[in-house]
């Protein structure tokens, strides 16, 4: 899984990134994503943060660091604040 996921992010392929994992969650998601919703999220993220992804870890847990230009607001900053 991790080799496919890494290759997908390095290749800028959101569909392959989504296919390489069962679910995905981060601060920009309201709930874990999978399938088409995850591919759309990955495509949006790749467009907003073009750059190099460095991955560490393996197995079921993958940690990554991004070094990139920030070209647009994050999804979290576009959502209304929760009160």
Q: What is the pLDDT of the chain when averaged over all its residues?
A: 76
pLDDT higher at 21 or 53: 21
Question: 78 φ, ψ to 5°?
Answer: -90, -15
CA distances 52 to 32, 47, 62, Å, are: 24, 12, 16
Which pLDDT score, from 0 to 100, does residue 29 have? Answer: 83
Which pLDDT score, from 0 to 100, does residue 46 have? Answer: 85
């Amino acid at each position: 899984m991790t080799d496919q996921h890494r290759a997908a992010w390095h290749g800028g392929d959101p569909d392959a990134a989504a296919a390489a994992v069962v679910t995905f969650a981060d601060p920009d998601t309201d709930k874990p994503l999978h399938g088409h919703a995850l591919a759309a999220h990955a495509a949006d993220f790749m467009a907003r943060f073009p750059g190099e992804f460095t991955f560490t870890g393996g197995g079921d847990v993958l940690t990554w660091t991004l070094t990139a230009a920030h070209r647009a607001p994050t999804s979290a900053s576009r959502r209304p604040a929760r009160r």
